[in-house]
Amino acid sequence: MVRVVRATQVEIESAVQALRDGELVAFPTETVYGLGANAQNPAAVRRIFEAKGRPANHPLIVHLDSPRFLHRWVREVPELANRLAESFWPGPLTLVMPKAAHVHEVITGGQDTIAIRVPAHPMAQQLLTAFGGGIAAPSANRYGRISPTRAEHVREEFGDSVRVIMDGGECNIGLESTIVGFEGGKVRLLRPGSVTASQLRAVAGELAEGPAEDAPRVPGSGPMHYAPTTPLTIVPAGEIDAQADAASAGGRRIAVLAQRLPLRSHKYVTWINAGRRPETYARDLYTNLRTLDKAGCQRILVQAVPDGERWEAVHDRLLRAATSIAEADDGTGTMAVLP
């Protein structure tokens, strides 16, 4: 059971003052920790990009405490957006809509759309309500690396460079929000998350999935993302033990993220059994990858997860974490990425 954490009044006042001063504040949401700045202060928002090493054309999500403030940020709210907001806000769903004229392009990555979310975490709600405005916030990690699901992860990434880090405990979802856009009276799924395609269809009807030529850029859509510093390879479920043996031949240290215990002892392998429940696997994924990334291993092998929409978000994150790996080590030093 994930504990529900609320901030003290002193903590809230400190975070609000930091935002008003143009400083960065890290805060928990139910998905991952965000690195926030006052969304109405372009100079403060640019500090997010500088701290993360984030490309300037990569849009941010603006967090609000209530849908009633949408009109301050959005030029036109599609009817389908209203229906989705009623069903899933506060919660792990981000809506991409036409931006209001005054919204600065530093938030939108130069696009004419803006991404909005109303988070459900009680500490995020406290902060947003006390601040009384929008907070622009991507995940609180270096660009392209593993997202943080605990306050300690944020401290590891940024140290004292972030003025306030609010500790709301472990995020209870652990993967970034589902992102959808709107086109031609339909909803398009732009990034999978814990709100599934079936849940979206139940509210919005027909659903287009995947990128389209004219679809807006959204956070986390790059081919390389969510990646540990240790090279990561996905292997077929039935081959995880054999691949661990082969990769650790000669005493090379290998890390494994699997959905079961090993069939036999592997002398040079650090093995995490993440289990077979998709919600638990997703919640713990980034923490497990961080643990394996610190294990001093030469490679992380990840057992391929099952098909099906309950695993879609995990599948997406793992594929992006592994995309940057051009070769794997089979003992000879050069082996293609495993299917």
Q: What is the CATH number of the domain that holds 242?
A: 3.40.50.11030
Is residue 338 situated within a structural domain? Answer: no
Cα torsion at 6, 218, 317, 88 (round to 10°)?
50
For residues 176 and 285, give the distance between their C-alpha atoms in angstroms, rounded to a whole number: 12
Same domain, 291 and 197: no
Same domain, 55 and 202: yes
Is residue 337 situated within a structural domain? Answer: no
* Domain boundaries, position 177: 9-209
Same domain, 249 and 166: no
Same domain, 158 and 259: no
DSSP H or E stretch at residue 195: none
Instruction: Classify 283 as helix, strand or coil.
Output: helix
CB 45 within 8 A of CB 136: yes
Number of domains in the chain: 2
For residues 144 and 224, give the distance between their C-alpha atoms in angstroms, rounded to a whole number: 6
Which residues in the chain land under pLDDT 70? Answer: 1-4, 223, 323-339
pLDDT of residue 219: 80
For residues 153 and 232, give the distance between their C-alpha atoms in angstroms, rounded to a whole number: 19
Same domain, 22 and 65: yes
**CATH number of residue 41's parent domain:** 3.90.870.10
For residues 283 and 280, give the distance between their C-alpha atoms in angstroms, rounded to a whole number: 5
Is residue 83 situated within a structural domain? Answer: yes
pLDDT of residue 339: 34
Q: What is the CA radius of gyration of the chain?
A: 20
Is residue 95 situated within a structural domain? Answer: yes
CB 266 within 8 A of CB 241: yes
pLDDT of residue 71: 92
For residues 326 and 335, give the distance between their C-alpha atoms in angstroms, rounded to a whole number: 9
Same domain, 274 and 186: no
pLDDT of residue 328: 39
Beta strands at 178-183 and 186-191: parallel, antiparallel or unpaired: antiparallel
pLDDT of residue 323: 63
pLDDT of residue 76: 94
Is residue 307 situated within a structural domain? Answer: yes
